[in-house]
Every structure is written in C-alpha cells, then in structure tokens.
Amino acid sequence: MGDLKIEAEVLEEWQHISNLVADFCCVPAAVIMRKHSDAMEVIAGSQQPCLPYIRNEKIPLANERCSGWVARTQQPLYIPNAFKDPQWAHSLSTEMGMIFYYGVPLILPDGSAFGTLCITHCEEKLISEAETKLIDRFARTIELMLSLLESQTAFYQQSITDDLTGIANRRHFLECFNKEFQRAKRHDTVFCVAMIDLDHFKQVNDQFGHDEGDHVLVRFTQRFKKQFEPRIRWDEWAVKSLR
C-alpha cells in the first residue's frame, strides 16, 4: 500500500526506535526508509548531529543502492567496509562518508516491501549478534505497527464508502462539509453545497422491485460519478467541490 498514511504519533515512535538502535549499536545513523517506485524516502532517523540523511528526503533508487537492494530483494544486507567490497564501493553511503551498512527489510502484510530499517557508520564495523537481534526485533515491531495501520485504514475506508455504489457515503459527506465549513469560517469565504435528487425513484422500486432499483442507482452513479459524490441517502447525492 504505497498510499498508506503514517500518523504523526507513529512517526514519533519510529523516531524513538531509531535513536535506541543508534545508541545501542554505537553508530551515528539509524534510519527508517520507505520505498517508492523510483526512490527511497527517509521518514525517520536517529537524532545525531552527523546524520547524513534528511527527514522526508527522497533519494533516487539508482543512488540509494544499499537500502534499495534490501527493499527489492527483501533480504538483510551487511557491509562491514564498502571500500573493501567492489559491489558497494561507489554507493551513496560511501559518497556521504558512510562505509559500514547493515539493513533489514520492512514487509507489509500483503508481502510487498514497505522499506528498510538500517544503520550506517563512517568506520568499519563488525556487527554483533546482539545488535542484529535488536534490529530484527524492532523491524518486526515496525511491521506490526504497519499491519495495524493498514487494518485501521481499511476499516475507515469501509466506514466512509457506500456499500451499494462504491462511492463516498453520508458520513464522508458530513466530515468534508464540516472541514469546508471551518475553512470558510477561518478565511471568511463562502462555499456552496448542491444536492441532486432522483425524481420518481420510488416508482421504479414499486414497479420493478428493489433489485432493479439498486441497479438503477448503481448505473446512475457510474454515469455521473465525475460530477458528484457522495451518496447522501437513498436517492440523493452531493455535487463535488462547489466553492
């Protein structure tokens, strides 16, 4: 789920995890990255003065070879000294002065890669079993949090979606209305709410039955979906974005 929204309180917890990992492993950088189609995004990092990464920075996959490889293969990667390994000697980490790297993948419940948890150092380092166990344990903790976030997102989407037509429902309309109302109030502006009612719809149900009535509602929604949503109730819709 590339569009999975990470809440601020979750990012704060991940920040604490990064700090703990960096302190325990005695490294200047512990970083959590998110994989996109063309880049790795830094979403949390240990709060060290020499941290080579910037939060929210997106590094092209062609440059971030180490974490990109971990996310792509979903395998851990351990490089004690990149200068001694021709495969990694010219990675982005070495350009930033980081020659040691250890990273593990972060996997979503559907088996796809979310990103990586990694540590780096400007000196050669032999990683201990205790350090790898700690990093693996924190990685599993992050994956559990991702699973809960994914479930929460799915439940919320279900709660604001009309079961019959698949478009937004009354609850979503009220949420959006309240936001727009508060925005208009703050900025002293005016916005418009328009509603559409399907005339004589009851006659369709009475004459042809509710199954055929449902079919009419679905077809009507599909035909005009770009013009309006959500479905407010039985045969009423709200028009999109009139401000």
| Cα–Cα dist 55/32, whole Å | 10
Q: Say if 164 falls within a structural domain.
A: no
Report the domain count for the chain: 2
Claim to verify: residue 96 and residue 22 sit in the same structural domain: yes
Residues 6+ apart with CB under 8 A from 70: 76, 77, 103, 104, 105, 116, 118
Structural domain contains residue 103: yes
The residue ranges of DSSP E strands in 87-143, in sequence order, are: 100-107, 113-121
- The 3-state DSSP class for residue 229 equals strand
Domain holding 193, by residue range, is: 170-239
**Which tokens sit at 192?**
């418009």
Domain boundary (125, 159, 193) is at 159
The domain that holds 230 is classified in CATH as 3.30.70.270
Whole-angstrom Cα distance, residue 14 to residue 46? 9
Whose structure tokens read 């395998």? 75
Please state the pTM of the whole predicted model: 0.72
Q: Which of 159, 193, 222 is the last residue of a domain?
A: 159
CB 127 within 8 A of CB 25: yes
Ramachandran quadrant class, 104 (left: phi over 0; alpha: psi -120 to 50; beta: rest) = beta
Find the largest Cα–Cα distance for the chain: 80
Same domain, 151 and 235: no
CA separation for the pair 209, 218 (Å, rounded) = 15
Cis peptide before 76 (omega within 30 of 0): no
Please indicate, yes or no, if residue 13 is contained in any of the structural domains: yes
φ, ψ of residue 118 to 5 degrees: the values are: -140, 160
Q: Cα(26)–Cα(127) distance, rounded to whole angstroms?
A: 10
Verify that 105 and 13 share a domain, yes or no.
yes
Please tell me whether residue 210 adopts helix, strand or coil conformation. helix
- The pLDDT tens digits along the chain (243 residues) read 457 888 899 999 999 999 999 999 999 999 999 999 889 999 998 877 666 777 888 988 877 889 999 999 999 999 999 999 888 887 767 667 789 999 999 999 999 999 999 999 999 999 999 999 999 999 999 999 999 998 888 888 888 888 887 788 888 888 888 888 888 889 888 877 777 777 788 888 888 888 888 888 888 777 776 666 666 665 566 765 545
Assess whether 151 and 40 both reside in one domain. yes
